[in-house]
Amino acid sequence: MLTRLRSKSEGKLAKQICKVVLDHFEKQYSNELGDSWSTVRDILTSPELWQHAVLLNRFSYPSALEEELHLKGYHPLVEGSLSYYPKSMKCYLSRTPSRMPSERHQTGNLKKYYLLNAASLLPVLALELKDGEKVLDLCAAPGGKSIALLQCAYPGYLHCNEFDSLRLRWLRQTLESFIPQPLINVIQVSEFDGRDLGHAQPEAFDKVLVDAPCSNDRSWLFSSDSQKAAYRIHQRRNLPLLQIELLRSAIRALRPGGILVYSTCTLSKAENQDVISAILNSYCNIVPVDIREIARTYSQHFTFAPTDHEYGCMVIPDRGKAWGPMYVAKLKKES
């Protein structure tokens, strides 16, 4: 069953909420998030409250664009106090849910900016990419985080992997739209099942990002086919196993001393903290890296769920800070 919503401004029929999904989330998240859930639910079910950040493409944006963003009420996500914040990465946020127009893909023309949920930058920042490093983006399509990684540093080698062939085409197009040719040459795109990549390239990478397939809470709530949505919810219990297997592969691909970041865009504890706990319990050479500095530094832009874990932080959507959900955990493979 679908619940129709009307957009506030025009009274037009807007996106439809899938009741099967909402009921399922209601049960699970009121239990896991307690009092915060009612606000989170209000945001997730009201697309007119969603905010869209603007990540400038350092390879092509004109300086007038920054002025234009200031005039439109955007402000930069600049954080001098974070120990890692590359000056080359410029992201603008707006307190209101305004949205810059999307740019069209045109072969040969680089896009000036990428529209994104600002919380998506947190796993990228947590990775602390430096010039010359070898990095793997294990689940890369449509490519938002690969683009963001390339705003931070010039890696020696970037491997973008995606299992779904349709999404792989989307990934290739994103890279072509944002990245100049000389840099494209350090990028390899592949179509592996990410669970096998660690065997194919053991200990090959300094950094690995696992932005895992998950219950994508925002998009699932607007599933247009209730039957498919019910099936997805049924299959949801298999996701933690897939996520753990992807992490195992990522750990294999990581060199000793390397850094791995795991992220999802779901609030689900089973796909977040429980997955990381399972990994930490089964490897003695994998240790959590404390990323509470990120939560402290960005608390004016994002609302973080209170957590009793040392590892991992979770952005929960809030009024005026409608970013997330985004869970981020950082692990190190000890030598």
139/150 with CB nearer ligand SAM: 139
Q: Is 217 in the site for ligand SAM (CB under 6 A)?
A: no
The gap from C-alpha 82 to its chain's centroid, in whole angstroms, comes to 19
How many positions of this chain bind ligand SAM (CB under 6 A)? 18
The site string for ligand SAM over 257-296 (x = CB under 6 A, - otherwise) reads ----------------------------------------
164 annotated as belonging to a binding site for a ligand: no
318 annotated as belonging to a binding site for a ligand: no
User: Which tokens is 181 given?
Assistant: 């040719």
* Distance from C-alpha of 84 to C-alpha of 101, rounded to nearest angstrom: 30
Task: Give the residue, chosen from 57, 143, 266, 326, that forms a contact with ligand SAM under the rule CB under 6 A.
Answer: 143
Nearest distance in Å: CB 253, ligand SAM = 12
284 annotated as belonging to a binding site for a ligand: no
Query: Which among 143-151, 226-234, 270-278, 299-307 is the span making contact with ligand SAM, rule CB under 6 A?
Result: 143-151
State which amino acid sits at residue 200: A
Task: Give the residue, chosen from 90, 111, 134, 195, that forms a contact with ligand SAM under the rule CB under 6 A.
Answer: 195
Q: Is 191 in the site for ligand SAM (CB under 6 A)?
A: no
Backbone phi and psi for residue 162, each to the nearest 5 degrees, phi listed first: -150, 135
Query: Which among 21-29, 63-71, 150-158, 191-199 is the span making contact with ligand SAM, rule CB under 6 A?
Result: 191-199
140 annotated as belonging to a binding site for a ligand: yes
66/192 with CB nearer ligand SAM: 192
Cβ–Cβ under 8 Å, residues 286 and 257: no
User: Which tokens is 74 given?
Assistant: 């955007």
Who contacts 171 (Cβ-Cβ below 8 Å, separation ≥6)? 140, 141, 142, 143, 146, 160, 162, 189
State which amino acid sits at residue 319: R
State which amino acid sits at residue 63: S
Catalytic positions: 265
* Distance from C-alpha of 305 to C-alpha of 8, rounded to nearest angstrom: 28
- Rounded to the nearest 10°, the torsion over CA 152, 128, 97, 33 is 170
Give the relative orientation of helices 19-33 and 36-44 as an angle to the nearest 10 degrees. 150
* Distance from C-alpha of 217 to C-alpha of 95, rounded to nearest angstrom: 22
Q: How many residues appear in the chain? A: 335
- Residue listed under structure tokens 């049960």: 27
Q: Is 324 in the site for ligand SAM (CB under 6 A)?
A: no
Q: Is 164 in the site for ligand SAM (CB under 6 A)?
A: yes
* Distance from C-alpha of 25 to C-alpha of 22, rounded to nearest angstrom: 5
107/238 with CB nearer ligand SAM: 238
Task: Give the residue, chosen from 141, 175, 316, 326, that forms a contact with ligand SAM under the rule CB under 6 A.
Answer: 141
Query: Which among 3-11, 158-166, 277-285, 315-323 is the span making contact with ligand SAM, rule CB under 6 A?
Result: 158-166
Q: Is 317 in the site for ligand SAM (CB under 6 A)?
A: no
Task: Give the residue, chosen from 128, 133, 206, 211, that forms a contact with ligand SAM under the rule CB under 6 A.
Answer: 211
Q: Where does this chain bind ligand SAM (CB under 6 A)?
A: 120, 139-145, 161-164, 167, 193-195, 211, 213
- Binding site as annotated, residues for S-adenosyl-L-methionine: 139-145, 162, 193, 211
